[in-house]
Amino acid sequence: MRWLNHISIKSKLIVMLLAVSGCSILVTAYVGYQSGQSNLNKRVFNQLTSIRASKAYQIESYFKNIRNHTETLSEDPSIIAAMRSFTDAYQILQTEKVTNPINTKIKQYYNQEFLPRLIQSTGGSPLVESYTPKAAASQYLQYHYIAANPNPVGKKQQLSDPKDGSDYSKVHKFYHPIFRNIIKKFGYYDMFLIDPNGTVVYTVFKETDFTTNFQTGPYKNSNLAKLNRLVQNAKERDYSKLVDFEAYSPSYDAPAAFIAAPIYENSQLIGVLAFQLPVDEINNVMTGNRKWEADGLGKSGETYLVGRDFLMRSVSRFLEQDPKGYGEILRSLGVKESVISRINQYKSSILQQPVRTKAVEEALAGKEGTQIIKDYRSIPVLSSYAPLQLEGLDWVILSEIDLAEAYAPIYSFAKQILIYATLLSLLVTLIAMGLAYWFVQPINQLIANARKVAAGELDAIATLKNEDEFGELAKSFNAMVRSLRTQTNLVKEKSQENDQLLLSVFPSSIAKRLKKGERNIAEDVSNVAVIFSNLTGFSKLSETLTAYEIVSILNDLVAAFDESAERYGIEKIKTIGDSYLGVCGLSIPYLDHDKRVLDLALDMLSIVRRFNHEREFELNIRIGINSGDVVAGIVGRNKFIYDVWGDTINLASALRAACPPGMILVSQEVHRRLQDIYQFEAMPDVESDGKTKVQAWRLAT
């Protein structure tokens, strides 16, 4: 708990007040949020369950009505008479001889109309012989009612009489408008009359299953063929049977479900009545005629059906509203492109969309309930599920809504809680700060003055009028500040003197490094310009003047040289008697360091001339300039100086020594760089180290 010792009294007071109020606020907010979330969950789940129960009742009632309607129609005398008439007329046509043009026309229809559409749905390369009818009556009827029917695919039911004069066409002309009206009014997709041998002797829509045999024909393995066998083998009156959705080839592999009932004449089974169930009617029930929001499902809720195979039995809301976005979701979940293509082709997710969620598994196990799960889009939803009570169909029903939408009110509530809690915390904080400020105001004033002193403001004096312990503390503090101010002023004076001394002896960059504590300062510096000069006539002048006058004159000259050197960015290294050494580019690199040094040399000549003119002296100056690499560093331990050395310095010194008074000699390197700016004259070679001779150039002035 040592950290408590580092917290101010004011902070402790504020923390204590905030801790008590904050805990109260947090507990209240948490309880309110949990209560709101629980109530919202309960309300949404109740709403979903209510919708699910309502839709379940509607779909169960719908199938019950279909079952009752099918059973009733199968016993209707007109259906019985139609079944007998169509069967007899079909048998008569079996004795007719089918001509080659009929076979050719039928094959042409299959090759041009039926098989291309079927291949588009199923793929592969089906043989036309596998689908074309073999019986004479079947060929005859498919020719007149399908191949030669002038109506396009999907509207073949509009033909009532092909006017071929057959008994079948007379029966068809009488019954077809009646049955077509039944299909239209009751919303069935198609109606079938199947004789005891399994031959489809009549359909309303005249797809390619018309006149085929469900025992030996191309569709013997279809779900309708299986349903026909079940109904005929049951040998029961007042009986009907449903069969689940499967891909049905005559409908180009679209999902199809069927219901069928036996047709008895007295005690004899004379056929089967079957209806193809309307997918649109089931979807209308489950989607509320596409009015999900009116059903209370918001913008993301839906109710749908799933079969034992974990595939949908009703359309997805998201496919209906946004087919493109629905496809993108399926692709992101790794659904095969062929499945997505079939969904887009049929515009339906029935038998295509897999729904293997926890809710579906629970419902298929016979359980009903509510859960928060991830749906078939892998999006969190609130789900209400239950099995359906449909004889012959193992389906479940689910009502779901996205968690984000369902929880939108609680999120808004949480936001409001956060806002009010923040405002309340702010209010409590302000009150706590006010009380704490009032209590520790004297300490704060002392702290503020102490910080000013720490920042260097030594004129900060505490002006407390308290007569208590805080007043005594203020007096002690003021006495300490006065003492510190006196000592600081002394230190500052000494520091300024030391800084001035360093700057007078060393270049500013070296002085800064020395102040930081560096002692072993040495470095190689490339590409610098060196100026080395010495006064002539100064020794003769010193014979006639006092030492004080000599030093004063020398100081005036060096000061003028220093001022000019500073203007050109040249660092003075040292003066030795009447000699002056400066370097350009040592601390700060310059691109024109040679020119800067040469300009300084010209200034030095002018300074000496002006000095002679003003004081009537006969002084002169010799100047040598070179450019190159040098070594710079601090030399000495107790008494140290900053110096530069190297061949570049030696050559500058040699040039100075060889230079006639009042002139400027430069090295070959300086001449090469500045020959386009200044005029130079060649001079005799100069020995730089006693052995090597180098070319020297005199500046033409």
Interval 428-457: pLDDT, tens: 777 777 776 776 666 666 666 667 666 666
Q: What angle do CA 174, 177, 182 make, to 5 degrees?
A: 125
495 and 566, same domain (yes or no): no
3-state secondary structure of 226: helix
How confident is the model over 638-667, as pLDDT tens digits?
A: 667 778 888 899 899 999 999 999 999 999
If one compares 37 and 538, the residue with the highest pLDDT of the two is: 538
Specify the pLDDT at position 463.
65
Position 449 scores a pLDDT of 66
Rounded-to-integer distance, Cα 406 and Cα 301, Å: 9
pLDDT on residue 193? 97
The mean per-residue pLDDT over the stretch 181-189 comes to: 91
Shared domain check, 167 and 130: yes
> What DSSP character marks residue 462?
-
Mean per-residue pLDDT for 10-28? Answer: 69
Question: What percent of the chain shows pLDDT beyond 90?
Answer: 47
Point out the domain boundary residue: 277, 292, 312.
277
Q: For residue 297, tell me if it sits in a domain.
A: no
Cα–Cα nearest to 485, from 460, 462, 458, 455: 458
> Is residue 338 domain-resident?
no
Q: Where is the domain boundary, 277, 295, 313? A: 277
180 within a domain of the structure (yes/no): yes
Answer yes or no: do 41 and 130 share one domain: no
pLDDT at residue 680 greater than cutoff 90: yes
Structure tokens belonging to residue 654: 């040699």
Based on the fold, state whether residues 501 and 540 are members of the same structural domain. no
Share of the chain above pLDDT 70, in %: 83
Q: What number is the average pLDDT over the span 468-478?
A: 66
- pTM beyond 0.75: the answer is no
Average pLDDT over residues 168-180: 95
130-144: burial string, b at 16+ Cβ within 10 Å, e else? ebbbebebbbbbbbb
Rounded average pLDDT over 680-698 = 83
**Do 83 and 133 share a structural domain?**
yes
Say what the pLDDT of residue 500 is. 63
Segment 623-638, tens digit of pLDDT: 999 999 999 888 766 6
Whether residues 463 and 439 fall in one domain: no
CA–CA dist 268, 270 (Å, integer): 6
Q: Each residue of 342-363: pLDDT tens digit? A: 888 888 899 999 999 999 999 9
Indicate if 24 and 107 belong to the same structural domain: no
Cβ neighbourhood burial of 532 (10 Å; 0-12, 13-18, 19+):
buried
- Summarize the confidence of residues 409-426 as an average pLDDT: 75
**Do 534 and 476 fall within a single domain?**
no
| CATH code for the domain in which residue 689 is found | 3.30.70.1230
Helices (H), 393-407: 403-406
The kind and range of the H/E element at 243 are strand 241-248
pLDDT at 511: 66
Mean pLDDT of 270-299: 90
Looking at residue 504, its pLDDT comes to: 58
Q: Which residues are paired to 584 by β-bridges? A: 529, 570
Tokens found for residue 82? 């139609």
Res. 473 pLDDT band, cuts 50 70 90: low
Same domain, yes or no, for 482 and 598?
A: no
In this predicted structure, what is the pLDDT of residue 582? 93
Residue 328 has a pLDDT of 92
Question: Is residue 315 situated within a structural domain?
Answer: no
Tokens standing for 508? 């500013």
Residue 36 has pLDDT above 70, yes or no: no
In-domain check, residue 348: no
Q: Taking all residues of the chain, what is their mean pLDDT, rounded to a whole number?
A: 85
Q: Would you say residue 295 has pLDDT above 80?
A: yes
Closest by CA to 449, choosing from 464, 436, 438, is 464
Residue 255, domain member (yes or no): yes
Higher pLDDT among residues 182 and 690, named by residue: 182
pLDDT at 512 over 80: no
C-alpha 672/C-alpha 1 separation (Å) is 76
Query: Is there a domain that residue 69 lies in?
Result: no
- Looking at the structure, do residues 473 and 431 belong to the same domain, yes or no? no
pLDDT-derived band at 339 (thresholds 50, 70, 90) equals: confident
First to last CA, the chain: 82
Asked which of 40-44, 74-78, 232-236 is least confident by mean pLDDT, the reply is 40-44
The residues facing 579 across adjacent strands are 534, 576
| pLDDT score for 501 | 58
Task: Say if 343 falls within a structural domain.
Answer: no
Q: pLDDT class for 1, splitting at 50, 70, 90?
A: low
pLDDT band at 622 (very low <50, low <70, confident <90, very high): very high
pLDDT at 170 over 90: yes
Tell me, yes or no, whether 435 and 559 share the same domain.
no
Query: Is the same domain home to 181 and 36?
Result: no
CA angle 520–526–527, rounded 5-degree value: 140
- Residue 130 or 324, more confident: 324
Domain that residue 97 falls in:
75-277
Specify the CATH number for the domain of residue 190. Answer: 3.30.450.20
- Nearest 5°: the CA angle 566, 568, 571 is 50
pLDDT surpassing 80 at residue 546: yes
pLDDT at 458: 61
Report the 3 state secondary structure along 474-486: HHHHHHHHHHHHH
| Structural domain count of the chain | 4
More confident residue, 287 or 497: 287
Structural tokens at position 97? 């001889």
Angle, alpha carbons 667-670-676 (nearest 5°) = 130
